[in-house]
Each structure stands twice: as C-alpha cells, then as structure tokens.
Amino acid sequence: MSEHAGYAGIVYWRRSLWNGARCVPVVLSLLPGELRAQDRDGKVVFQGDPRQVDGRLTRLGTLLVTVDGKRYALVGRGGDLSPAPSAGQQAAVSAVRPPPAVTDGGAVDLLLNGGAAARMRAWHTWLGGAGARLR
C-alpha cells in the first residue's frame, strides 16, 4: 500500500456466532500506519499499526484479525437481525477514498452472499500489503 493511500469501508463485526443482532456494522479504515474499526456511535473498537496485526481468512470468508491480543471476526455482510450502518458511519466512509471495487468473487458468493466473501478477501489482501502478519 502506498504511504499516501487509505481505504475505508463498512464491514460487520460478528460479536456472536449465534445471535444475528450482535453482528454489528463497523467502519474499517486502513490508513498509512493504522488499522481502525469504529462502531455505530463512532467509538473505536480497535486500533493499531497494521504491521502489529495478525490475521487470517476462513474458507467461508470471515476475516479474523488479532489486535493487541484480542481477536475480532469481521464479515462482509450482516445478518437479517443486524442493525444498519449509521449515518455517521456512512459519512465517515465517504470522507475517505473507498476501497477499489471487488470483482473477483465467484457466482455462488455473489448470488447467495452479495459478494461478502470477496470483499473480505480484498481486505485480507490490503492488510497484507500494509504489512499485517497473515496466514
């Protein structure tokens, strides 16, 4: 990633595997030297240098990141019970250059999952470019 590049997008933090209402939108920002997630109220969920972040992508498209010793499960799409992104989150994303369009998703991901797995694969790639320790 270029030192002058930065991306921001809305992804969902899966706080519970079983409770869809606990899969909440966060603004995920990858800026030079910083990876940050903010919740609907603008509160920082996690923040750190991408070079200090561990991550891996599951087969189903969940991006697992570990920041300061705590693991977060991020997915590209919320569930039926998930809250919608707030106006503040949408404004925060529009203030930063959006990530490049993701077009490498398969037909099944696109039809059944709205391309969510492909979006998380793209974030995995961008994190790797920013120096994250990925598996």
Compute the CA torsion angle 112, 116, 117, 120 (nearest 10 deg): 180
Written as one string, the DSSP assignment of 43-89 is: -EEEEE-GGG-EEEE-TTS-EEEEETTEEEEEESS--TTSPPPPHHH
The pLDDT of residue 99: 60
Answer yes or no: is 25 within a domain: yes
CATH code of residue 47? 2.30.29.30
Answer yes or no: is 75 within a domain: yes
Answer yes or no: is 90 within a domain: yes
Overall domain count for the chain: 1
Answer yes or no: is 62 within a domain: yes
Two tokens at 46? Answer: 């996690």
Q: Does the pLDDT of residue 83 top 70, yes or no?
A: yes
Answer yes or no: is 1 within a domain: no
Q: Does the pLDDT of residue 111 top 60, yes or no?
A: no
Answer yes or no: is 113 within a domain: yes
Q: Does the pLDDT of residue 35 top 80, yes or no?
A: yes
The pLDDT of residue 114: 47
Structural domain for 49, as ranges:
7-134
Q: Does the pLDDT of residue 120 top 80, yes or no?
A: yes
pLDDT > 90 in the chain, percent? 59
Grade residue 103 by pLDDT with cuts at 50, 70 and 90.
low
